[in-house]
Amino acid sequence: MNDFLLAGMIAAERLPAAHESKTAVLSELKNSLAGASGEQRTASLLKRELDLPGEAIFLSDVHIPYKDGAAQIDLLLVHKEFVCVLEVKNMIGEFYFDTVNFQFHRVVDGRREGMRNPEAQLHRAVRAASGFLGVPVQGVIVLASRSGKVVEAPKHYPVVSLDYLPFHLEQLANGLKLFDTAALASKLENLPARNFSHHWLERHNITFDSLRLGVTCPTCRTCSLDWQERKWNCGVCGFYSRGAHEVTLQEYALLFGSELDTRLAYRLLGVKNKYVLYRLLEKTAPQSEVRGKRQIVENRELLRDYFGRIYR
């Protein structure tokens, strides 16, 4: 799970139903989950069945600087004989690529839906990767769902089904060692982390005060826990835990940054006693050098584990 997907999960859980962006957030999360599922199936299949000489390095959710922004790449395969961008589409329906105007639409149950053109997305990603790495880069559109069918094919890039993808990639190998895979992969892995949160929150008009605050019960997921007798307790389902607040702190860090104002911490966790707050934050968000500020010790794996159990 990348940060974008985690942010959608947090907002879906904490935004009240009346919030203006609740429907949009839920719809965006549904599409993101479908896309992530397709990318995961693609990566798993290639790691299991792709037969290439030497090591093949797979990088997922890569953001490469391009012009005034960044190009997002679903999956990037780096091999000594070729480099290939995989634009994965986990969609159903009949697909039509307009090779004159470079538009794209699909037909599902008789309904025509205009969408972003996967070929244009792939072309942008290929140019960004090639320019950043300084090497020629291939590209392919991958249909991760067996319920998708191409009626009119794109002009510049191939479209292949997931089942055929290993064979397609194997045909790109030419028997020559052209690239230093370790050097290329290192250059990509050392790219700075993408900070999307400010723009995403602004686009959906999400602020700290628009969220349901408190430590979420992982069982009920719609109510907050109370701190009683040195543990978090749910008055609805009976759940209890000593460390449930750690997920809440990680949620805040992902959305708003790791610096936490002590005054906000009371509201975030839903506690009033300063001694309780200090004990809860002693290791997970120690005091910083700035008075009244704390620094959350970031741990994305904690969030991935928490939401991984919810969105299995």
Q: Is the pTM of this model over 0.95?
A: no
The β-bridge partners of 241 are 232
Task: Give, in degrees to the nearest 5, the angle at Cα 300 between 34 and 190.
Answer: 90
Instruction: Give the integer Cα–Cα distance in Å for 41 and 90.
Output: 10
Contacts for 53-56 with beta carbons within 8 Å, 24 or more apart? Answer: 53/80, 53/81, 53/173, 54/79, 54/80, 54/181, 55/79, 55/80, 55/181
| CA–CA–CA angle 123, 201, 211 (5° rounding) | 145
β partners of residue 21: none
Q: What is the pLDDT along the chain (312 residues), one digit of tens a residue?
A: 788 888 999 999 999 999 999 999 999 898 888 888 888 899 899 989 999 988 899 998 888 888 888 888 989 999 999 999 999 998 889 999 888 888 888 898 889 988 888 898 999 999 999 999 999 999 999 998 888 888 988 889 999 999 999 999 999 988 778 888 899 989 988 887 766 667 889 889 999 999 999 999 988 888 889 999 899 999 888 899 999 999 999 999 999 989 999 999 999 999 999 999 999 998 999 988 888 899 999 999 999 998 888 877
Q: Residue 292 in contact with residue 261, Cβ under 8 Å?
A: yes
Residues composing the chain: 312
The C-alpha angle 175, 176, 177, rounded to 5 degrees, equals 125
End-to-end, the C-alpha distance of the chain in Å comes to 12
Contact 6, 304 (CB under 8 A): yes
Own/partner contacts of 232-235, CB < 8 Å, gap of 24 or more, are: none
